[in-house]
């Protein structure tokens, strides 16, 4: 991937000032490289790109059949990039000023039913050896806390070793939050920790990878979940760490949690992000009216 100096400076700013995660930086880098390649073919540099160049690029995205969501993400990346150039004095204008980000329909989060989650736990407990212990501990912690998979895999080897009922988690942008712990999650973590204690060198993470000095990769954990899904009789395509996070949130709301509390548990900076789960609230309120309203029985 070839990134010019201006794009590199932008990515460094995202990492240093906003604490952007590695996956976020990679996505921005890919978006910018696609745009800069387009400009190079036109003999134009980012510092000299005009609104017409941006318009031609966006038109090309539409004509190649990219999804509306991908087009909107590319537009957002360019908007932030050119704002950075403007603020840094590398441009005197912003060619993105006239472009409006299209409003996308909010996609409903994919989540499992409570019975499907129970089936996953049963399948994980039936897996032998270290993979089974990792699967049980991962499911217990993710479903009990709503952690992101990056947060789960970053847990140190000593995590969940005390009698504390809360876990301090460092999330996106280095922001810290407290999440409650369940006894089954702590027991599963203890079993996993005992199993990896004999590794040499001593593991640094609760979920060690093939090299005990490194954490298990996201890809490795996702593949383990696919294996559990197959054992549970579920479509592996329906299961991912993020689906478990959505399940945690959806099931909490279905049992009476409020959006503000859920926002804190999930580590969302904006309540609007948490509002994707209002479909659960709507269903719960409808059921409440049907059951309790004096005229509901007709």
C-alpha span between 149 and 152 (Å, rounded): 5
277: annotated active-site residue = yes
Among 148, 186, 193, 251, the one annotated catalytic: 148
Distance CA 55, CA 172 (A): 32
CB-CB contact of 69 with 104 (8 Å): yes
Of the residues 226, 242, 279, 284, only one is catalytic, namely 242
264 has catalytic annotation: no
Q: How far is CA 3 from the centre of its chain?
A: 25
From the candidates 172, 218, 279, 284, give the one annotated as an active-site residue: 172
Query: Is 268 an active-site residue?
Result: yes
Contacts of 187 (CB under 8 A, 6+ apart): 140
Which residue is catalytic, options 74, 134, 245, 246?
245
How many CA atoms within 13 Å lie on the side-chain side of 56? 12
8 A C-beta contact, residue 138 and residue 152: yes
Residue 179: its H or E element: strand 176-180
Catalytic-residue membership of 245: yes
From the candidates 74, 91, 134, 268, which is the catalytic residue?
268
**Which residues are catalytically annotated?**
148, 172, 242, 245, 268, 277
């Amino acid at each position: 991937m070839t990134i010019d100096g201006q794009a590199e400076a932008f990515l460094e700013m995202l990492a240093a000032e906003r604490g952007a995660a590695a996956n976020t930086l990679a996505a921005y880098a890919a978006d910018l490289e696609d745009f800069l390649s387009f400009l190079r073919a036109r003999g134009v540099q980012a510092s000299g790109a005009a609104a017409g160049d941006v318009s031609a690029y966006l038109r090309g995205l539409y004509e190649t059949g990219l999804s509306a969501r991908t087009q909107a993400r590319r537009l957002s990346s360019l908007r932030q990039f050119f704002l950075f150039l403007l603020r840094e004095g590398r441009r005197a204008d912003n060619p993105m000023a006239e472009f409006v980000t299209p409003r996308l329909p909010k996609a409903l989060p994919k989540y499992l039913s409570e019975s499907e989650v129970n089936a996953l736990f049963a399948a994980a407990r039936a897996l032998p050896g270290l993979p089974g212990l990792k699967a049980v501990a991962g499911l217990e912690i993710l479903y009990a806390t709503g952690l992101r998979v990056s947060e789960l895999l970053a847990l140190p080897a000593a995590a969940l070793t005390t009698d504390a009922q809360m876990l301090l988690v460092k999330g996106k942008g280095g922001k810290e939050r407290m999440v409650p712990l369940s006894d089954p999650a702590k027991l599963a973590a203890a079993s996993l920790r005992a199993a990896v204690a004999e590794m040499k060198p001593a593991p640094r993470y609760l979920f060690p990878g093939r090299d005990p000095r490194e954490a298990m990769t996201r890809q490795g954990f996702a593949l383990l979940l696919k294996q559990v899904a197959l054992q549970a009789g579920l479509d592996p395509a329906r299961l991912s760490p993020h689906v478990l996070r959505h399940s945690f949130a959806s099931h909490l709301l279905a049992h009476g949690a409020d959006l503000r509390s859920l926002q804190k548990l999930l580590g969302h900076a904006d309540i609007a992000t948490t509002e994707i789960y209002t479909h659960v609230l709507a269903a719960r309120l409808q059921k409440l009216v049907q059951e309790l309203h004096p005229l509901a029985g007709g």
